[in-house]
Amino acid sequence: MRRRRTTALLSFALAATMAAGGFAYGAAPLPATGGDAVTAAPGTAAVTTATVTLVTGDKVTVATRAGKTVAVDVLPYRSDAAGLRTYTVGTDVYVIPREAEALIRAGQVDKRLFNVTQLVAQGYDDAHRAATPLIVRYTGESAATPGGARLTRKLPGVRGAAVAADKSKGDAFWEAVDDDSARAGTPRARLSGGIQRLWLDGRVDTLLDKSVPQIGAPEAWAGGYDGTGVKVAVLDTGIDTTHPDLADRIADSRSFVPGETVRDGHGHGTHVASTIAGSGAASGGSYKGVAPGARLVIGKVLDDGGSGSESGIIEGMEWAARSGAKVVSMSLGGQEGADGTDPMSLAVNELTAETGVLFTIAAGNSGPRATSVGSPGAAAAALTVGAVDSADAVADFSSRGPRGDGGLKPEITAPGVRIVAARAAGTAMGTPVGDKYTTASGTSMATPHVAGAAAILAQRHPDWSPERLKAQLVSTARTTADTSVYAQGAGRVDVARALRQTVFADGTVDFGLKGWDDSAPAEKTLTYTNDGDAPVTLALSVERAGGDLPAGALTLGAASVTVPAHGTATVPVTLDSTAVTTGSYGAHVTARSADGATAAVTAVGFGRDVQRFDVTIKVLDRDGKPTKGTASVSDTRLDQGTFPDTYPVGADGTVRLRLPRGEHSFYAEIAHNSPDQSLTTEYTYAVQPGTVIESDRTFTFDGSKAGRVTMSTPLPTEASRVRIGTTARAATADMVHGRETWLSGRTAVYSVPSATTDPALFESRVAWSLAAPALSARIAGRADGALDAAYFEGWIGSARFDGTRTLRVAKPGEDVRGKVALVKRDDAVSTYDQIDAAADAGALAVLVHNDTPGPWTGSHLRTEASRIPAMTLSGAEGARLLALPAPRVTFSGTALSPYAYELMKYHAGGVPADQRYRVRTGDLAVVDSRFHASTGGTEAGYARVTRSPMQTVAYFTHARTVLPRTLTEYVTAGVRTSEAFKLGPVWSAGGASQITADQTFAPGQKVRRDWNRAVVRTALPDGLNAAAQRSGELGVVAAAGLLDSGTSRWSVNRDGATDKETTTVYRDGVALGSAPYAAVAFPVVPQSAEYRVVTDVRRDGAGWATSTGVRTDWRFRSAGAEGMTVLPVLSVDYRLGTDLTNGARAGSRTQVGLGVRHPKGLAAAPRIASVKLWASADDGTTWREVRLDRGLNGSVANPSKAGFVTLRVTATDAAGNSVDQTVTRAYQVRR
């Protein structure tokens, strides 16, 4: 199923796009020269990453290639039993902390806040936004701005405000709006702080010569009606006030875009405004607008890039509705498939009722798919507009209904294909028609036609309400035969008929979505109104509107009706939904006078829901009784691209659902906190995979059949994290749904064996991250003295013991100097404050004992460890220490584990009965990793990623580490695995990162990995296919600016704070331009040419001493060919005999081995003809050539004093392609 962005572009430039080979790009000619000819390499040619701080304070890094999310790195700061959950729905990935899930389920929190795929797509990642934009709706008229946020806009139209939640303040905002977020347990589905609902303030995008006569405007002008005296507000990208067609047309204007005036730097708003009221002065009247006498009220709500925020648009709507305008035109939209309950739609409804203004709004450009009308066009009060061509055929791109809740949308259409209107100065939107006009298509172009028509009608009838204007326009529209009402509504607007006709009808009759079991006939009343001086008799008929309308589905209460002069008449319309099967249906009720002079049309819409069945799910705990823990059941519609529905389990252990026919998968879970106030939790899960619901069903998830899920390893280990995952595929649709539940390593996990299903359609899995036990504690001198102590906040919150230490316990009120302080957790005091107070008083360590069941956490953004070891205990253990006289505790710790296990077990077709696993070393792959750093104590992060056969997205979290160090990993064989390394603190959004390509290890396989090893240089990643390529008119060299000398590298991302990159591209000696990237795209020509790509990279960061600068000069020849071809760009690989500090002894010799390679995927690569090496001990001032043997090995004589060695390599292949690379301070020399 094709997925789209949350917001849609509502106008199309009439230019083609093309996809060729490995990437897609616009077909418009690229400039031959100039600085903008060289740009960043497209994401389809390289892997890109972006970090998003969620509104809960958690950080998520999303790796994307070819427009798809391929990996998600999660940095949670909590230790809940089920602290995090991730979902894959089609191509979108959601990362949802547990405390947010209940609020999403209750409809109080917008799930878009956790759709990390779309947050990145909308530019809400941390590199582009320091705060998360939100819209809040108050429970009352107003409320104080929540902590951690600042007010950006007041939005009385939706009884709310726009706020920005500061990402640097972590979870401060979330703490202010959710009073359960700091504790494990059952989150109450309730927002606090006077807030009723919370939405993402999403991005919204911009969605005349023959078209104006097409809708009858000249006839209206001839009658003296051209919109004179009527104001029309246009909410768009602004306006070109200097355009001749718009001179003296603007009554008022205001910008709602921070930092931008009302001037139109995009072109969309000017085009729309002139379609409404342009004079046509620059074309001799040829391109006159629909209502050239109307005055314009211009609200700039979209920036010069064509995008805006929902809150900015709402603020503009409130201003426009009170500006004296009779009509508001909005050619923009977002949230495809909206149901009318979003903030923008609510604002339309409320402002229409309050001010009496008519909103004409574009349906969207996401057609021809059904249920694709966007917001705010989904608003019930809006007159929603689709697009037709010059023959009144609905445009393929025009969004179709029904609305998300089954309602009838759009109501009307207007010309929207190849519309010529005013071109804003200096813009290139659409296809220019000279300097003053441009052609564009979209429902954006259709909407102003209807707005202009409404202005003409309002001139004739200034006292008409928005409902009356809407009904008159819709019921007098020209219907297109054999076209669904969900595509055209009543038909194409006809302003001439709307003006002259004195009889009108209800424009729409919407029965909505009828339940499958609802067999009772439904009746609506159709009202006809006659403003004329004589009665009118109308013959009535029901006419098919595309598709099949079974006989008897719709019946009229009369075959004709006489409407009295200045009166009304009604006719009942009856729906028998049992006459149709599941789906959406429509018809037109047409009323015609005998002479044909009067015709009124009503669009009738209705749908029949899918058949639903009673599904009862019983959830029993491990004692076979209804659970006393926190339990829920999730239902995933496998054949739909929808988010799973989660339901709480009732007190009787039962969930009663009414579910639609189709493919479903069910997931039940129970979470318990230990009754002894321990931090240990229990988690039981059960799955009912691949279930077709076609009758009433009862399922029982019987926890008494659950078995413990365990993993035993040869070396002593403890788990830092356990991940429970499932992937389900639909048998009848191309849909994949994934689910991952992240659990603390202290969680006791139990699973209920499931029924089996097709192994190609379902997979369950469990993954463990294990390492040497970090801490053990026992009361000295007691055989029964073992304590279940754990570091507070896991790997980030506490200093650690390294070795053994015995300390006296200081109880409350005692002197803590030189002792371990024993304190009780307290809701009124931050645990971090308690730890800091103990350290300030001279304690050497602190034990915080619990006061209630379940774990707890501190601040999400604690970015440094506590000054002293801080540990947690259960309430029972704390009470025991308090009762003992002068107790002493012996602590044994391993600060940095020398080994780790990354293990996964998966099962196709269901959940197995026995999940007690034991691994042997011989069954695993062994990866010996060496992490290099030129400076001791360098902060870094490392993750081993494992992915099962059916898993589409890799999920991981970096573990904090300190360099230099070594690590031996034991990894499950037979699964896809990769490694992720980040140079820099794991809790920061910055830092350079690298990811290896997926590999599958064999049992017993031994692998060597080096990270951050000299020589760090510019090169093409060896694990990335076609990293240098050309296709059509575009060439790409996706180089990594600073790539270490490890192997199997796939994705490399620079540190934006410390790395500076510049690349200049030449063709046949002529500079094409420069760009601040190492990975670049540039124009290529069909004929053979020599290309030169020169990249300079600098890194200046604390603790970074080697490879401070790299200059790489590539030269290669290339000519055009069919499809995608790989370019012969050479990369130099280095093998140095240096140590973990990337250093060598002064006065010694360092062995250097070189390798030269072409990009992966290059067919018939030329042989390497020449390689030379030089070394310098004075940063390149003087050089000495290093002699190389046939294997490209040489020996560098190091200087006799401390310093650095700079290396230069040149290489040429047999075809003359070459590379010349200089690495300043390639490695260090120590005394």
The band of 36, judged by pLDDT with boundaries at 50, 70 and 90, is: low
Q: Look up 396 and say whether it is catalytic.
A: no
- Distance between CA atoms of residues 486 and 615, nearest Å: 32
Range from 258-267, 845-854, 924-933 carrying the lowest mean pLDDT: 845-854
Which pLDDT belongs to residue 914? 96
Task: Choose between 613 and 180: higher pLDDT.
Answer: 613
- 829 pLDDT band (50/70/90 cuts)? confident
For 474-489, what is the mean pLDDT? 94
pLDDT in tens, 79-111: 443 467 888 888 889 998 877 888 898 889 999
How do residues 438-461 score in pLDDT, each as one tens digit? 999 999 999 999 999 999 999 999
Counting Cα atoms < 13 Å in the Cβ hemisphere of 788 gives 14
CA angle 196, 374, 601 (to 5 degrees): 115
One-letter amino acid at 60 equals V
User: What would the mean pLDDT of 340-365 be, rounded to a whole number?
Assistant: 96
Report pLDDT for 18.
23
Q: pLDDT higher for 1102 or 1153?
A: 1153
| pLDDT band for position 971 (cuts 50, 70, 90) | very high
Q: What is the C-alpha to C-alpha distance for residues 876 and 1053, in angstroms, rounded to an integer?
A: 48
- 776 strand-pairing partners: 892
3.50.30.30, 3.50.50.60, 1.20.1260.10, 3.30.360.10: CATH of 775-893: 3.50.30.30
Q: Is 860 a catalytic residue?
A: no
Residues 276 and 262: their CA atoms lie apart, in Å, by: 18
As a whole number of angstroms, the distance between CA 983 and CA 1142 comes to 15
The pLDDT score that the predictor gives to residue 321 is 97
Q: Cα separation of 225 and 100, whole Å? A: 55
Helix, strand and coil percent figures for the chain, each rounded to 5: 15, 45, 45
| pLDDT at residue 24, rounded to an integer | 24
Confidence grade of residue 1 (pLDDT, cut at 50, 70, 90): very low
Q: What is the pLDDT of residue 29?
A: 28
Compute CA 426 distance to the chain's CA centroid, rounded to the nearest angstrom.
33
What is the CATH code for 612-704+734-754? 2.60.40.10
SS3 state of residue 36: helix
pLDDT at residue 187 above 50?
A: no
Q: Burial code of 1137-1159, b = ≥16 C-beta within 10 A, e = fewer?
A: ebbbbbbbeeeeebebebbbbbb
Whose tokens are 């920005």? That residue is 164
**pLDDT digit string, tens, across residues 509-525:** 999 998 888 889 999 99
- Say how far apart CA 704 and CA 1213 lie, in whole Å: 69
**Residues whose CB is less than 8 angstroms from the CB of residue 432 and which lie 6 or more positions away in sequence, other chains included:** 423, 438, 439
- In this predicted structure, the answer to whether residue 183 has a pLDDT above a threshold of 50 is no
Instruction: Identify the pLDDT of residue 1051.
Output: 72
What is the pLDDT confidence band of residue 989, given thresholds at 50, 70 and 90?
low
Instruction: Encode pLDDT of 746-769 as tens digits.
Output: 889 999 999 888 999 999 999 999
Q: Assess whether pLDDT exceeds 50 at residue 135.
A: yes
> Nearest to residue 932, comparing CAs of 1144, 1207, 774?
1144
Distance in angstroms (rounded) separating the CA atoms of residues 1230 and 1144: 6
**Is 612-704+734-754's fold the same as 920-1011's?**
yes
Over 689-720, what HEC string results? EEEEECCCEEEEEEHHHCEECEEECCCCCEEE
pLDDT of residue 315: 97
pLDDT at 33: 31
Q: Can you tell me the mean pLDDT for 665-669?
A: 94
Report yes or no: 878 and 850 within 8 Å, Cβ to Cβ: yes
Task: Tell me if the domain spanning 512-608 has CATH number 3.40.50.970.
Answer: no
Burial 478-509 (b: 16+ CB within 10 A, else e): bbbeebbbbbbbbbbbbbbbbbbbebbbbbbb
Catalytic residue among 243, 266, 268, 737: 268
Each residue of 231-256: pLDDT tens digit? 999 999 999 999 999 988 999 999 99
Domain spans, the chain: 51-201, 205-500, 512-608, 612-704+734-754, 775-893, 920-1011, 1017-1230
Supply the pLDDT for residue 1111.
99
pLDDT confidence of residue 344:
96
Q: 236, 303, 494, 1213: which is the annotated catalytic residue?
A: 236
CATH of the domain spanning 920-1011: 2.60.40
Q: Can you give the pLDDT at residue 78?
A: 52
Asked if 210 contacts 390 with a C-beta cutoff of 8 angstroms, the reply is yes
Phi-psi group of 903: left, alpha or beta (phi > 0 → left; psi -120 to 50 → alpha; rest → beta) = beta
pLDDT tens digits, one per residue of 840-855: 999 999 999 988 776 6
What's the pLDDT score for residue 9? 27
**Who contacts 83 (Cβ-Cβ below 8 Å, separation ≥6)?**
76, 97, 98, 742, 743, 744
Q: Which two tokens stand for residue 708?
A: 């413990």
Domain 205-500 grouped into CATH 3.40.50.200: yes
* Summary mean pLDDT of the chain: 89
Say what the pLDDT of residue 481 is: 87
Task: Please report, rounded to a whole number, the percentage of residues in the chain having pLDDT higher than 90.
Answer: 69
Residue 461 bears catalytic tag: no
